[in-house]
Amino acid sequence: MQRTTTAAAVATLLAAAALGLAPHQAQAAPTSSVTAAADPSSQVRFHDIPGSGGITLKGNVFTPAGAESGRKYPLIVLPTSWGLPQIEYIAQAKKLADSGYVVVSYTSRGFWLSGGSIEVAGPPDVADVSAVIDWALANSPADADRIGLGGVSYGAGITLLASAHDPRVKAVVAMSGWADLIESIYSGRTQHRQAAGLLGAAGYLTGRPGPELQSLLSDFLGSRLDREQQMIEWGRKRSPAEQLDRINANGTAVMLGNAWGDTIFPPNQYATFYERLTGPKRLEFRPGDHATAEGTGLLGLPNDTWTNAHRWFDRYLKGERNGIDTEAPVQIKSRSDDGYEGYADWKSVGSGGTERLALSDSEHLFANVDSGANGGVVLLSSVLDQFVKVPPIASVPLLPRAFAGVWQSERYDTARRVRGTVKLHTTLTPTKADGTFIAYLYDVGPLGIGKLVSNAPYTFHGKAPGQAFGVDLELFSTAYDVPAGHRLALVVDTVDPLYIEHNPAGAQLTFSSPRTDPSYVSVPLREQ
Same domain, 130 and 187: yes
pLDDT of residue 42: 74
Residue 162 φ then ψ, to 5°: -65, -35
Query: What is the CATH classification number for the domain harbouring 136?
Result: 3.40.50.1820
Please give the average per-residue pLDDT across 305-331, as a whole number. Answer: 98
Same domain, 298 and 404: no
Structure confidence at residue 338 as a pLDDT band (50, 70, 90): confident
Query: How far apart, in whole angstroms, are the C-alpha atoms of residue 344 and residue 182?
Result: 28
pLDDT of residue 24: 34
pLDDT at 341 over 50: yes
Same domain, 290 and 394: no
Q: Are 294 and 305 in contact (CB under 8 A)?
A: yes
289, 319, 348 - which closes a domain: 348
Q: Which of 56, 69, 54, 61 is nearest to 30 (CA)?
A: 56
Q: Which domain holds residue 292?
A: 2-348
Percent of all residues in the chain with a pLDDT value above 70, rounded to a whole number: 92
Query: How far apart, in whole angstroms, are the C-alpha atoms of residue 65 and residue 276?
Result: 40
pLDDT of residue 70: 81
Same domain, 254 and 393: no
pLDDT at 15 over 90: no
> Three-state DSSP class for 312?
helix
Strand partners, 341: 332
Query: How far apart, in whole angstroms, are the C-alpha atoms of residue 417 and residue 333?
Result: 12
Please give the average per-residue pLDDT across 257-284, as a whole number. Answer: 97
Please give the average per-residue pLDDT across 407-417, as a whole number. Answer: 97
Please give the average per-residue pLDDT across 278-307, as a whole number. Answer: 97
348, 378, 402 - which closes a domain: 348
DSSP state of 459: E
pLDDT of residue 41: 67
pLDDT at 288 over 60: yes
Same domain, 134 and 282: yes
pLDDT at 23 over 90: no
Please give the average per-residue pLDDT across 135-144, as a whole number. Answer: 97
311, 330, 348 - which closes a domain: 348
pLDDT at 515 over 60: yes
Query: What is the CATH classification number for the domain harbouring 480?
Result: 2.60.120.260
Please give the average per-residue pLDDT across 506-512, as a whole number. Answer: 98
Q: For 164-220, how does the pLDDT look when each residue is reduced to its tens digit (9 = 90+)?
A: 999 999 999 999 999 999 999 999 999 999 999 999 999 999 999 999 999 999 999
Same domain, 214 and 324: yes
Same domain, 293 and 425: no
Q: For 93-133, how does the pLDDT look when each residue is reduced to its tens digit (9 = 90+)?
A: 999 999 999 999 999 999 999 999 999 999 999 999 999 99
Please give the average per-residue pLDDT across 391-405, as a whole number. Answer: 98
The number of folded domains in the chain is 2
Please give the average per-residue pLDDT across 399-416, as a whole number. Answer: 97
Same domain, 313 and 382: no
pLDDT of residue 40: 55
Structure confidence at residue 401 as a pLDDT band (50, 70, 90): very high
Same domain, 306 and 393: no
DSSP state of 349: T
- Could you give the C-alpha distances from 9 to 4, 111, 135, 291, in angstroms and in order? 9, 21, 28, 19
Same domain, 308 and 395: no
Average model confidence (pLDDT) across the chain:
92
pLDDT of residue 4: 35
Same domain, 160 and 227: yes
Percent of all residues in the chain with a pLDDT value above 90, rounded to a whole number: 89
Query: How far apart, in whole angstroms, are the C-alpha atoms of residue 408 and residue 411?
Result: 9
Query: How far apart, in whole angstroms, are the C-alpha atoms of residue 21 and residue 18?
Result: 8
Q: For 29-47, how does the pLDDT look when each residue is reduced to its tens digit (9 = 90+)?
A: 333 333 333 345 678 899 9
Query: How far apart, in whole angstroms, are the C-alpha atoms of residue 527 and residue 422?
Result: 16
Higher pLDDT, 25 or 380: 380
> Three-state DSSP class for 73?
strand
Please give the average per-residue pLDDT across 420-441, as a whole number. Answer: 98
Same domain, 314 and 371: no
